[in-house]
Amino acid sequence: MHGYLALQWPRLFALFYLQCFDKVLSVVALPSVEACFGGTLSVPCHCSVPPWTVRTTVSLRWSVETEDGNNKCILYKTSVVLKKNPSYEHRVSLDPRTSVLLIANATLADEQTYVCSIKRENTCRKSVTAKIYAPFQIEIVANPKPIPLTEDASKIATCKVRHSYPFPHIYWYKDGNLTTNALTREKLSKLPSGFYDVNSTLHYHLGRSDIASTFHCKAVYELPSGTKSAESKRVCPTLHYPPETLELKIETPRGEIKERDTVTLVCYTLANPMPTFTFRTNALSRDGSMEMVTSGVYKQSLMIPGIGQEQSGAYECQAQYGGKTLVSPAVYIHVQSVDPLLIVPSGPLNLMVGDNVIVTCRTTGSGPVNFFWTKGHARVSDGTNLKLDHVNLDTAGQYSCIAYLVASQNISKTQSIDIRVFGLGVVSLIMFLLGTLILMLTVIVCTKRYRQLSRSPRSTNGGRIFLLLKDPDKIESTSCSSQSAEDVVHVSSL
């Protein structure tokens, strides 16, 4: 110890002199520097010389401290000479503008204490500590096995740091927060190259609240300028846990359920692995007891296509897990519907002009029902009855009865009836009167002709007269014929 102080006393004296007396010659050097492995190490040693010493000869010497306390010169420079240590020949250089020592391709062996010595009338020495760091690789490996929920801490993941320098510290995070109650086990390996491999395994007591939790690790090492770190990706462990509660929900449709809708029920629970689900309902049983639903079941859902009024009732789901059965609260399905309509009298309905008729529409539904009648797009009557007084030809047509739920007008049923009206209209009446007049004129003409023929001598053999209706549907088309033994007389009208 005393020998070491004897060697160092000139250095201590120079430091005392420089700091206490007007700083005739000062050397500014950082107490420590750092460099990345494989990069360039820069060790500064800046000298400030007052004007009155400008012509004084200066020598610069860079050396490293050895384990035995001696200094090993790696570079020496004067105004005319530059010498390098052979072991540093191709890596060491000096910045031409300053006294900064540059060491290329920095290795772990370059992590030493460097001594800068500037000699003039006074000699100044300043030590600079160099730190080397190496970028490392970090990897997290999650536990591949399912983790059951137990009272013991389980293995979550292993954090692997490769080729690190210096030795890193590993921290674990859960959902982005530093864990404080975790158990970690670390294994450190120093490689022949001087780098470190570190494995840190996290053990943690998981609960049901950790189902979606994520874990990651962070490696940190200290450098003179601060800390450098790297984080792993996040992993989510696979947990095995039984269901605690079941909830049955109507997934589709949203809102009211109408006849012929496709209804989907889903049984929700938190479990891994998922249990086996079954569904039951009292909609199809005569005594109201719950019966198993066998069709439309897929995993945890039940699909009822084209649901009908008869499928209204209570539904529930069950989950079987580890020999136990869990039952959900019942969900009630109320199918909104209107039953088929009955029209009395039934159609088609044949009427004569001037008739009176009342047509009644009847039905029931899942709730109170309202009625109205339409003809074409026009609304002609409200209520169950369609009353038609003194019908005419314009009354004929197709009438529709629409029945809808009071609570929801879009749930409805429609039934139509054809009404036919027979009789004479105004035009037909005119044609009828005209035809009757023609017939009467024809009869008069035929009668007169008959009398004339009766007085004729040729009528002694007896004669016959005929009123012929050429077309029974057209009274205006007639002919009158008179026939005797000798001749035939025809009388035609129009």
Report d(CA 482, CA 468) in Å as an integer: 11
Per-residue pLDDT at 47 = 58
- Mean per-residue pLDDT pooled into runs of 10, the chain (494 residues): 37 35 40 91 70 57 87 86 88 84 94 87 82 92 91 92 93 94 90 94 91 94 88 94 93 90 95 93 89 92 92 94 91 92 92 93 92 94 94 93 91 93 71 81 80 59 48 46 42 39
What is this structure's pTM? 0.58
Per-residue pLDDT at 94 = 86
Per-residue pLDDT at 277 = 95
Per-residue pLDDT at 329 = 95
Question: Residue 20 is encoded by which pair of tokens?
Answer: 């206490």
Per-residue pLDDT at 127 = 87
